Structure 1
Amino acid sequence: MARKVIESVTCDACSKKGLEVPGTVNLTVMGDRYDLCDEHGARFRDQLAAALAPAVDAALSA
């Protein structure tokens, strides 16, 4: 009999709250990988952009 294995990827941030939301975004930071839903992916993208924007602007102006 043939078997088919289906892997479900859930959002790591939502899983901490006990929710099972599909993970659609991958975030990798220095080798650590996180699967995130669209909402958490956008939230972390915005936070990283805000945190890194001054440093990027300063480097470009130098």
Structure 2
Amino acid sequence: MTCDACAKKGVEVNGTVVLMIMEDRYDLCDEHGARFRDQLAAALAPAVDAALAA
């Protein structure tokens, strides 16, 4: 399994992280896995904070 994000750049890096969104699956390296995790957490942070306050 190779990192889908790296493969877009023509680089072959082992995928170590699986990101699943509904039926979509993305294989990612550690670097891209952390980057997407941080971006998703930042995007959802206001919604999570509001749910916790309720």
> 1:5-44 maps to which residues of 2 (within 5 A)?
9-44=1-36
Between structures 1 and 2, the one with greater helix share: 2
1:40-59 alignment, distance < 5 Å:
40-59=32-51
Q: Which entry has the higher C-alpha Rg, 1 or 2? A: 1
Gaps of 5+ in 2: none
Structure 1 unaligned spans of 5+: 1-8
Return the offset for 1:31: 1.1
Higher relative contact order (CA 8 A, sep 6+): 2
Identity of aligned residues (%): 83
Instruction: Give the AA of the match of 2:20.
Output: T
CA RMSD of aligned residues (A): 0.4
Report the TM-score when normalising by structure 2.
0.97
SS of the residue corresponding to residue 25 of structure 2 reads strand
